[in-house]
């Protein structure tokens, strides 16, 4: 498979997963989410779509750098596995928080997500420092999202 196709697939995978999870989010934004108490630092709703879209593209590029690398197969396999685990946990967060309306369980999920992202960063770093650094904005945003999730949980 050529690298252009790998890049396209690498970017599309997180975007599709994010788009599907966004379906669970959109329906709740003007419903349940609009009615709950939020902390003073809650960003406007319109910011989440562009931020997540950008992060999914950057994650996809990081994944591509790992996929196309000539790394030792065991390191590469571990990095790819961790990437997909964190992506699945990310997907589940939207369902738990928005669809099931369970901010407490969503906070538990986001902590697992944060740990999985960190492990992915370390694993990527063994193969490509660029791929590792590309994941840093993602963990920063998820750190903020975890604080926001916790505050919403406590306020409601």
Token pair of 113 as six digits: 């997500």
* Contact by Cβ (8 Å): 156, 103: yes
For 43-98, write each residue's pLDDT tens digit.
999 999 999 999 999 999 999 999 999 999 999 999 999 999 999 999 999 999 99
For 106-145, write each residue's pLDDT tens digit.
999 999 999 999 999 999 999 999 999 999 999 999 999 9
pLDDT of residue 14: 98
Judged against a pLDDT cut of 80, whether residue 150 lies above it is answered with yes
Judged against a pLDDT cut of 80, whether residue 1 lies above it is answered with no
64/89 Cα distance (integer angstroms): 20
Q: Where are the domains of the chain?
A: 3-155
115/5 Cα distance (integer angstroms): 30
Instruction: Using the Cα atoms of residue 132, residue 136, residue 137 and residue 142 in order, give the sign of their dihedral.
Output: positive
CA-wise closest residue to 45 among 148, 114, 155: 148
pLDDT of residue 40: 97
Taking the model in full, what pTM does it have? 0.95
36/38 Cα distance (integer angstroms): 6
Written out in words, the top-level CATH class of the domain with range 3-155 is mainly alpha
37/62 Cα distance (integer angstroms): 36
């Amino acid at each position: 498979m050529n690298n252009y196709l790998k890049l396209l697939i690498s970017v599309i995978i997180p975007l599709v997963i994010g788009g599907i999870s966004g379906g669970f989010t959109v329906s709740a934004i003007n419903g349940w989410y609009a009615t709950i108490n939020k902390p003073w630092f809650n960003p406007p709703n319109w910011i989440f779509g562009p931020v997540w879209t950008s992060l999914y593209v950057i994650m996809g590029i990081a994944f591509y750098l790992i996929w196309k690398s000539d790394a030792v197969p065991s390191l590469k396999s571990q990095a790819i596995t961790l990437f997909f685990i964190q992506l699945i946990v990310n997907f589940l967060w939207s369902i738990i928080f928005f669809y099931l309306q369970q901010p407490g369980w969503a906070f538990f999920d986001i902590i697992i997500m944060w740990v999985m992202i960190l492990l992915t960063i370390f694993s990527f770093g063994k193969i490509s420092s660029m791929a590792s650094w590309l994941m840093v904005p993602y963990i920063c945003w998820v750190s903020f999202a975890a604080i926001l999730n916790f505050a919403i949980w406590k306020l409601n």
